[in-house]
Amino acid sequence: YSPRRLVRFTSNIGNHPISELSSSSSSSSPLRRKLVRCQRTPILLEGLDILEARNTAIKAAKEAGELIRKRLGADVIETKLNTMDLLTEVDGKCQNIIENIILGAYPEHGFLGEESVAPGADASQIALQEARDNEWLWIVDPIDGTTNFASGMPLVGTIIGLAHKGNMVLGVIYDPFNDELFEAIQGNGAFVNGKRMQVSSDATNLSDSVIYTGSPPNPRSIAPTLRSVNALMPKARTIRMLGTAALMLAWVAAGRAGGYYEPDLNAWDSAAGVLMVREAGGQVTDLKGNDWDLSTRPLCATNGKIHEELLEITRSVECTGLDPE
């Protein structure tokens, strides 16, 4: 498989090659306008129109987002890995919305959703390995940032990605509370609400950079994260833990931070955002500097300019993955 097999998209509708779905009405937010079809050339890959897949993903993300907005602060119905790993009834309902829309349009495709997988890294890896047998695989986290959501904090993202033979070709992340839609198609750039995204050009070293990291529920991930924060805090402009990998990756792609790293992430947390960062001109590897793929769990995503400096520090404190048991 080669990215060249994607047919590039050209359009006569403006400067944003994948922004043709919103109407010209100015009476409301672009993401809440009625979707309309415009003339365009398909982006074809193995017979699949990626733009049509993108439209389907957006529809699914926005319908889930409507429910998320209405149910902010929903009760926790159970914990998963531990008391820091929460589940509300809305998580499952949102995944059902997304799954029904996507598999309704593409019944022959595979679907990997967080809420269908048992908690823990081992279960996630097994589920991914089994799902990767599908030529086309949708990878979904219906509510990334469930702890924020359950606590009444409007900081979450709905993540929908599409992989072809293990390569990410489409990513959609929707922030329902700020009505921001982040999207990327391989080889066609990354956009937020129709505006092209570019990673930060101002963050040329760590001292100029806002750095994101996670607050993970797994104790084997907490320790390396805290070591790295202790090492990075005096060197970076600041460290932020937002509680949602979806938005941290999308915001790196949008130039709102210099980088994001975490020693352990599931594919549904990272896949769509990794594509966005790459399409926005950034760099993504694991925390040892190796190329990222769907099975990669340690993540480092940056504007490229601070990548090696960030890796050098995280490696120096052995923040390259989970600590031994």
141 assigned to active site: yes
- Between CA 13 and CA 36 the distance in angstroms is 13
* Residues in a beta bridge with 185: 170
> What does DSSP assign to residue 232?
H
121-125, long-range: CB < 8 A, 24+ apart: 121/218, 121/264, 121/266, 121/297, 121/322, 124/266, 124/267, 125/295, 125/297
Cβ contacts of 61 within 8 Å, gap of 6 or more = 98, 158, 160, 172, 173, 174, 181
Per the residue annotation, which of 102, 143, 306, 313 is the catalytic one? 143
323 assigned to active site: no
Per the residue annotation, which of 20, 99, 141, 264 is the catalytic one? 141
SS3 state of residue 32: helix
Per the residue annotation, which of 20, 91, 114, 264 is the catalytic one? 114
- Between CA 132 and CA 63 the distance in angstroms is 27
114 assigned to active site: yes
Calculate the alpha carbon distances from 287 to 36, 217, 225 in Å.
42, 19, 12
Which residue do the tokens 């672009």 mark?
A: 30
85 assigned to active site: no
Point out the residues that are catalytic.
Answer: 114, 141, 143-144, 146, 269
